[in-house]
Amino acid sequence: MRRLALLAAALVCAGCGASSSVPRVPTLPAGAVAYLPSTVKPVTPAFLAREAEAPALRGQLGGWGFVAGRRRYFQGESRRLQVVDSRTLRFRGGAGASAFVGFLRAHLDPYLGGFAAVHSLVSDGRSGFVATAQECQCHLANPAYLAAVTRGGTVTWLEINGPRASRAMLAALLARAP
């Protein structure tokens, strides 16, 4: 009986290791914004579809070859940045990664609201876009920027918000992101 229990435990552990075939996906290092605490979580098609308010996106991601994603989310009180959302998404090929960046560019409302200003962006040989949220006229409003760039099957997504958020700060952090 004890042998059977050990065999069952070994099989369970072997099954746990099977998930390691999903590639480890890097994000912006915690030290890049060391003054803010951060958490790291996987990014799933269900999460992306829910966040984009686009249920059909879940199926599209499968068609585009989505493999895996991770997100490092920084948030806290600071006179520099208060939110930094770094994501890395892996696709089987460049066409799928580019299709996702195109989708994101066309569906910015859930992230930055309507009327975001969008411009093409090249960073470290990666191409995509940068979007700037329309500034609120509130005296405490902070600027918000979102960039998504791709090279091969990798999408790098970076969103920043805070009193000192700027396109230059976004570019500097994007250069450190995978």
CB 160 within 8 A of CB 172: no
Q: What is residue 24's predicted lDDT score, i.e. its pLDDT?
A: 84
Burial class (CB in 10 A: 0-12, 13-18, 19+), 17: exposed
Asked if the structure places residue 166 within a domain, the reply is: yes
Whether 164 is covered by a domain: the verdict is: yes
Using alpha carbons, select from 146, 86, 159, 144 the residue that is nearest to residue 119. Answer: 146
CA distance 48 to 85: 13
Q: What is the distance between the alpha carbons of residues 87 and 64, in angstroms, rounded to a whole number?
A: 17
Residue 61: which of 94, 22, 100 has the closest Cα? 100
Asked if residue 123 is part of any domain, the answer here is yes
Asked if residue 43 is part of any domain, the answer here is yes
Q: What is the value of pTM for the model shown?
A: 0.83
Q: How high is the pLDDT of residue 115?
A: 77
With b for 16 or more beta-carbon neighbours within 10 A and e for fewer, the 83-101 pattern comes to: bbbbbbbbbeeeebbbbbb
Report yes or no on 6 lying in a domain: no
Contact residues for 14 (Cβ-Cβ < 8 A; gap 6+) = none
Tokens of 135: 């500034």
Say if 18 falls within a structural domain.
Answer: no
* Domain annotation covers residue 13: no
39: CATH: 3.40.1000
Q: Print the domain residue range for 127.
A: 23-176
Does residue 118 sit within a domain?
yes
Q: Is the dihedral of CA 66, 172, 24, 87 positive or negative?
A: negative
Q: Quick check: 101 and 130 in contact, CB under 8 A?
A: no
Residue 22, pLDDT score: 54
Q: pLDDT of the chain along its 178 residues, tens only? A: 444 333 334 433 444 444 445 568 999 999 999 999 999 999 999 999 999 999 999 999 999 999 999 999 999 999 999 999 999 999 999 999 999 999 999 999 998 887 788 999 989 899 999 999 876 655 556 889 999 999 999 999 999 999 999 999 999 999 999 9
Domain count, the chain: 1
- Given this model, what pLDDT does residue 12 score? 39
